[in-house]
Amino acid sequence: MELKDDKKVFGGRQLRYEHASQVLNCTMQFSVFLPPQAEQGKVPAVYWLSGLTCTDENFSSKAGAQRAAAELGLALIIPDTSPRGDDVPDDPEGAYDFGKGAGFYVNATQEPWRRHYQMYDYIVKELPELVEAHLPLSEDRAISGHSMGGHGALVIGLRNSERYASISAFSPIVHPTQVPWGKKALSGYLGSDEQQWRSYDATYLLEELAGQAIPPILVDQGDADQFLKEQLCTEFFREANKASGAGAQIRMQPGYDHSYYFIATFIEDHLRFHASNLR
């Protein structure tokens, strides 16, 4: 881990690191907020997964999460959204919803993507092992995200319930097997067998986990979100939640859209939700 930036904020430190990823076969950057409590000992961490076109810096600079995280004693771990570098393949047409900036938090099985696009393993295994070995972090984790990152947080949290105390999401793509963004990404990274897609679909996962213990879940969705009807389809997840008895909190927020203004408004709620479960 090579430290690239270090800023003091709310008594804590906003850091940016670079490292050579063995899982993604490229150099990656990620951001970390360490609260003041980290100077005294290990602290729990909330992993934040960002959405399409974002890097690790969008959340750290726009969400205003550091104040509440500093109060609550939470570290924030903020990875990039895809592998990066000249050797990493990208969408040949330069589309924003596939390739660089759009890793969709899956393990690609198709060429030319599978050598680099292993974002699921990077988030679940490599990055936590790295930061917990080098920073004052406990093994207590929660996971959250926005849009494509909300999809990633729900899928990773549901598939690894023993690793995360709680899960939350803003405007998540909850049923990617049924919407344009998801169909494009899953077919490109995983191939044409739609049965392989289901393990990366939060709605199907919630249905399959009916009756099993899962972490507490909080989802916020704005009803003025321009992507709600075509890409996000929150009602699918609401129906699966009801059928499975999972008990997820799914809140429709009047007047809010898909932007970071929405995230900034409710991020404190989400961090307090995670803090209560991490404790």
**Ordered domains of the chain (ranges, CATH):** 2-278 (3.40.50.1820)
Q: What is the dihedral of CA 134, 138, 144, 145, to 10 degrees?
A: 0
Q: Could you confirm whether 257 is annotated as catalytic?
A: no
258 assigned to active site:
yes
Q: Which of 87, 239, 79, 240 is nearest to 148 (CA)?
A: 79
Q: Are 199 and 104 in contact (CB under 8 A)?
A: no
SS3 153: helix
H/E stretch holding 188 reads helix 180-190
Annotated catalytic residue within 50, 60, 147, 168:
147
pLDDT in tens, 217-273: 999 999 999 999 999 999 999 999 999 999 999 999 999 999 999 999 999 999 999
pTM for the full model?
A: 0.96
Instruction: Tell me, yes or no, if 274 is annotated catalytic.
Output: no
pLDDT tens profile 141-183: 999 999 999 999 999 999 999 999 999 999 999 999 999 999 9
Q: Quote the radius of gyration of the chain (alpha carbons, Å).
A: 17
Separation of CA 28 from chain center: 16
Catalytic residue among 151, 175, 258, 274: 258
69 contacts 35 by C-beta, under 8 angstroms? yes
